[in-house]
């Protein structure tokens, strides 16, 4: 069933799918461009995201190490104060 586009009528399933595919692709590209992501070079964009992931994982590792170091520092200080208090109370 071939329709002339100048006359209104029901669209075939292939036409609907084509319109949806084109609209979805254009919408995705506009969204990515609005976010500053270059859609003309997808491999380079993937490398950029991989590099950002690498930096994020490094930063998360550093933060985890810093939290552990702080917890050990506070824990050690608290244990030392408790020990000194115990020692002072026993020596009285």
Q: What is the CA radius of gyration of the chain?
A: 32
Sign of CA dihedral 36, 40, 46, 47: negative
Q: Give the pLDDT confidence score for residue 91 in this predicted structure.
A: 85
Predicted TM-score (pTM) of this structure = 0.55
Per domain, the residue ranges of the chain are 1-40, 41-92
- What is the pLDDT tens value at each position of the chain, 92 positions in all? 455 555 556 888 899 999 999 999 999 999 999 999 988 999 999 999 999 999 999 999 999 999 999 999 999 999 999 999 999 998 87
Q: Give the pLDDT confidence score for residue 5 in this predicted structure.
A: 54
């Amino acid at each position: 069933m071939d329709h002339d586009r100048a006359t209104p009528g029901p669209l075939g399933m292939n036409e609907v799918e084509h319109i949806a595919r084109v609209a979805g692709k254009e919408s995705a590209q506009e969204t990515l461009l609005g976010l500053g992501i270059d859609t003309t070079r997808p491999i380079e964009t993937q490398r950029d995201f991989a590099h950002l992931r690498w930096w994020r994982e490094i930063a998360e590792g550093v933060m985890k190490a810093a939290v552990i170091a702080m917890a050990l520092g506070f824990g050690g200080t608290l244990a030392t104060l408790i020990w000194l208090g115990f020692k002072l109370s026993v020596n009285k």
